[in-house]
Chains A and B, each alone.
Chain A
Amino acid sequence: MNRIQARFQLAWPGFGLDVDIALPGRGVTVLFGHSGSGKTTLLRCIAGLERPPVGKLSINGDTWQDERTWLPPHRRPLGYVFQEASLFPHLSVLGNLRYGLRRAKTIANGQGVSLEHAIDLLGIGHLLERKPDRLSGGERSRVAIARALAVSPRLLLLDEPLAALDHDRKQEILPYLERLHDELEVPVLYVSHAPDEVARIADHLVVLEDGRALASGPLGETLARLDLPIRLGEDTGVVIDAVVAERDEQWHLVRASFAGGSVWVRDTGMAVGHRARVRILARDVSLAHTHGDDSSILNALLAHVVAVADEAHPALALVRLDVAGTPLIARVTRRSAAHLGLRPGLPIWAQIKAVALIG
């Protein structure tokens, strides 16, 4: 039973939550939705900070909550990172880290993440003696994450840990989050409303709206669904797991290979054999009946049309494609779609104008 089962129902004035989901027992699950969609409330229910009238929660076989059971938050072996880092102002960084560690020892009997490991993972060794008010926003976030890790949680909950940070600070933290992802076994639930964070760290995606889960599934599949009314707009696109397969020293390119094909991407110094993600936005995919050797476009993949759906603007359509098993989305004008005669099953060339290699 390598799974997280969560079912919660609550009704507050002006807001309700009604969620029944099963999530993988490892990897990063992003709870995605606009503000007010219920993602933070869901996270708080899981942590036991809210107590909804209907609640069932089991983590990899252990029941934390059902009709008869209720573990108060301090008995749940989890780590929680709040939106603002919420460090204890009266304790130093080390004091903050030790706060949970001392109390968790009795529960976790030494398994999981050691304090040294957490400090090392988040790169905060030089900050230990400081008081929280002498830290930058990014440093505070890293300490908060390390503090949550230091209790050796069996589930790590992060509530938009980057929301309060500017772009540069986010770029500072994201590599640490990716390291967690790569190095730790702990399942992570990560609340976010930022598509770029989703693309970078999610394995599994839950889309929430008005307190309900609209979709829950592996990242690539869920992003490629056309039936979801979530409007990512310019960020609509897919994320594909790939491996760096080849380097072209002359043109400073690398080839990222995935099930069904490969694309050439700017060389960012990633070693051959490295696992990475390729993000392809729908607006960067053009469709053509021919390969189109005579254009500047580097990457063209032969695909089949799976479905055509309306976009928000009446001039546009979204086309779901299948590249030998890997989903892809293209955004084209409806006129072009009609002109090309797009219909399910039609083979077509997907010309990719831009690819981002992430991770």
Chain B
Amino acid sequence: MNRFAELLDRLVLTPSRNGKIRLLRDYFADTPDPDRGLALAAITGDLDIAAVKPAMLRALVMERMDDVLFGYSYDYVGDLAETVSLVWPEPAADAAKPSPTLSEVVSSLNAAGRANGPRVLAALLDASDIPARYAIIKLVTGGLRVGVSARLAKQALAEYGSKDVAEIEELWHGLDIPYSALFAWLEGRAGRPEPLAKALFRPVMLSHPVEDGDLARIEAGDYVAEWKWDGIRVQAVAEGGLRRLYSRTGDDISGAFPDLAEAMTFTGALDGELLVGRPPGWVGSFTDLQQRLNRKSVPPKMRQKYPVFVRCYDLLQDGGADLRPLPFLERRIRLEAFLSQLDPARFDLSQIVGFDGWEALEAMRKAPPHPVIEGVMIKQASSAYVAGRPKGPWFKWKRDPYTVDAVLMYAQRGHGKRSSFYSDYTFGVWSGPPEAEELVPVGKAYFGFTDEELRQIDKYVRDNTIERFGPVRSVRADRTSGLVLEVAFEGLNHSPRHRSGIAMRFPRISRLRWDKPSAEADRLETLKALLDTQAHVGGRGQGDSDTLIS
């Protein structure tokens, strides 16, 4: 348990992706089965463990200490799991007894009945030290929140076994906790585990953004174009009575889309874009789609107001046949036939866009016929479906980002390599009547600039600080002085959580406008107008949507 507890503590404070991968990899190398597999499942959110309510935890600790002292402690720490782990009385003497392992913790919790649960938990806490107690409480109260996605954990596994992450993703849903067969394969002690389960995920094929000179090197006649719709990439797999909807990284998201699952009356694997709306007439915005993401249950009203469908662009499996080795155009013909059997309100076909040369396509990319289109996809007609991101067969060519001129308001110190730099910037635009204009924050960005520009902004922040709050500095920003940043972003969402009422998607610094007086930065009305044009999509507005992008 102690190594697991230490791993969690390190992961949560390690900002860099590579650092987290190294911590995970070393943990897998040092920890025996089944503990490492249980830890992996806990991190990917796949571990099933009997849950404990915070009130019960609180009751347990109140039996053991003065309530006033607990109150002072909880007020100070602010987190119940952490407070309880710290104030839990150290058991008398018995230091010789080793603390329980992760597998002992999991099995005794799962063996405990409802009535016995509190007593079993208390016994485990009695036998553990502070970091282990914290890890146990996090396990039973749900959600480790260590900033590691399932994808990152799989990447660490891939590096541990020198495999391609696509191989891990393909296997993943056929594996059982504690993944002993997987580790045996990664360590070269056994062959690749043969998945017995049905309806598995197939690692997806990804595209490269079009960069300068790319198109000059390829022949327009060899490629086919499609609109790039702004939804989320999904894979719908149905086989042997199982129906699964997977995200791009192989997470099973079927639970949030029962309406779609009902319509999966096929045997095969479809690749497409998940969107809200009712094709062909209505395609909702990304904001609409967010109403449906990350939900545990979907009320009927929600299904009715935000119906989902998949705009399909590839067919990977047709009945018993794996189509991935076939050329794109052959798969496409099979796809069209396949879709003709399905409910068109749930599965429709991504249109091929005819174009005559790259210049013509560029014009179409810049002025797409629908606001939910974010560019074009370019696919080589002869390309097989290959996992990962091979350069050449598939390109994405997005419409140009939106930009806004905003004023730097706050700067926060970065992490790791950037810990001595102010590298995270909160910026605002002008709002209010002309005589009383003030800046309202509209977003935060921490990339898009060069190292040299970072040095310049850092110096500017240090020279123009008006207040400090811990790692954050408030920077001089008024009508007469302030640094104007040109911020590029992909879109806007309504956000009641922000004072400005908007949240930016994917903001980044595109240019430093040292030349521009702060008073000439943009106004909030400009962004609000853009939000309105985005919101009225396909003849239906987004209504009383109140979502926020993550």
Is B truly associated with A? no
B contacts, CB < 8 Å to A: none
